[in-house]
Amino acid sequence: MLAFAIRRSLQIVPTILAVVLLIFVLFSVIPGSIVSALSDEGRGAIDAQVAERMQKELGLNDPVHVRFASYVSKLATGDFGTSFRTREPVTSMLAKRAWPTLQLIFAAMLFAIVVGVPLGFIAALKPGGLIDMASMIGAVSGLSMPKFWLGLLLMYLFALTLGWLPSFGYGDGGLMYLILPAVTLGVSPMALLARTTRAAVLEIMTADFVRTARSKGMSELRVVKWHVMRNALVLILTTIGLQFGSLMGQAVVVEKLFSWPGIGSLLVDSVLQRDIPAVQGAILVAVLFFLIVNALVDLLYVVIDPRIKYS
């Protein structure tokens, strides 16, 4: 188990290297730079000489492989470079914004699990029933609603009309500010979890070994608790893991919408300004988060399902 854990963690390293290379090359070949962004995009033309000096200072004139080598060697020491825009170290920018993003993602996932899993479970116990129909219609709507639109609706209802919650911002980092963005972000994983749970439970309820359990005289409650729930857990956990990883990407829209000071909104701002070190840093953090979550899910599989053994 420990050997597997170590091996699985080490697998992250080559993936990260590949991602670093990909991001770097991508941003080197796309046209435009911070200099052109400053001069061309209506922020007032800058002097050709100034532009030339900026290019040189930021090292944009160096050949790609030289820039890449220096980037990677700095990265190895945990230095993500310096932001073109704010001249701040990207590492400290990311560190400041990591916590709000994690807060948002965990809160969204918590909402998704607490609502989605029981909903799917109840729906599966009486397939075709009223609760089943209602929750599955809700789930499809939840999956198909665009987040920015849903976010605006929630904002309108709970902040503007009812005045219960602040409409946007991080505020003092309190719970009130977290609720709306977390729910907005959590609705689609919640819907997906409800559907997956329902499907998993339905499938297992008709499995032969559940019939076997009944045949030994087990009460229905114990059958569901011991045989159905434990076996449904593998599928549910997989969905949670996958959703967790992708929430980082989905958070970009929600953070921007709610002016949440996280990594997602940093990414959007930096892309608009061609602040390449900041963009690279933000993407790398997102990728790393995804990889770690996936590795954790793999480890959990081994714990909960004896059939899965990695050798």
Partner 1 sequence: MRAALSGVIIMADSASSAAADVILRVRDLRVHFHLSGGLLGKPRVLRAVDGVDLELKRGECLGLVGESGCGKSTVALSIVGLQAPSSGSIELDGEAVTAGGSIDRKALARTAQIVFQDPYASLNPRQTVRRTLEDPLRLHGVRARSEIDDRVATMLAHVGLRAEHADRYPHEFSGGQRQRIGIARALILNPKIVVCDEPVSALDVSIRAQIINLLLELKETLGLSYIMISHDLGVVEHMSDRVAVMYLGRIVETGPWREIFERPAHPYTRALIAAIPDPLLRVPFVRAKGELPNPLKPPDGCAFSPRCRYVEDPCRREPLPALERHRDEHLVRCWRAKEL
Q: Which C-beta is closer to partner 1: that of 179 or that of 300? A: 300
If binding is defined by CB under 8 A, does position 231 make contact with partner 1? yes
Residue 243: its H or E element? helix 229-257
If binding is defined by CB under 8 A, does position 208 make contact with partner 1? yes
If binding is defined by CB under 8 A, does position 311 make contact with partner 1? no
If binding is defined by CB under 8 A, does position 214 make contact with partner 1? yes
CA atoms within 13 Å, Cβ hemisphere of 26: 13
Q: How many C-beta atoms surround the C-beta of residue 75 within 10 A? A: 19
If binding is defined by CB under 8 A, does position 122 make contact with partner 1? no
If binding is defined by CB under 8 A, does position 213 make contact with partner 1? yes
Q: Which of 278, 303, 119, 304 is nearest to 194 (CA)?
A: 119
Q: How many C-beta atoms surround the C-beta of residue 97 within 10 A? A: 22
Q: Structure tokens of 117? A: 């899993």
Cβ–Cβ < 8 Å for 119, 187:
no
The structure tokens 């001069």 sit at: 39
Residue range at the interface with partner 1 (CB under 8 A); choices 49-57, 86-94, 147-155, 210-218: 210-218
The nearest distance, CB 219 to partner 1, in angstroms, is 8
**At how many degrees (to 10) do helices 90-125 and 130-144 cross?**
160
The nearest distance, CB 305 to partner 1, in angstroms, is 6
Cβ–Cβ < 8 Å for 108, 185:
yes
Q: Which C-beta is closer to partner 1: that of 1 or that of 22? A: 1
Please state, in angstroms and rounded to a whole number, the distance separating the CA atoms of residues 74 and 87.
16
If binding is defined by CB under 8 A, does position 307 make contact with partner 1? yes
Q: Which C-beta is closer to partner 1: that of 229 or that of 292? A: 229
Among 30, 64, 207, 272, binds partner 1 (CB under 8 A): 207
Among 49, 77, 144, 215, binds partner 1 (CB under 8 A): 215
Q: Which residues bind partner 1 (CB under 8 A)?
A: 207-209, 211-219, 222, 227, 230-231, 304-307
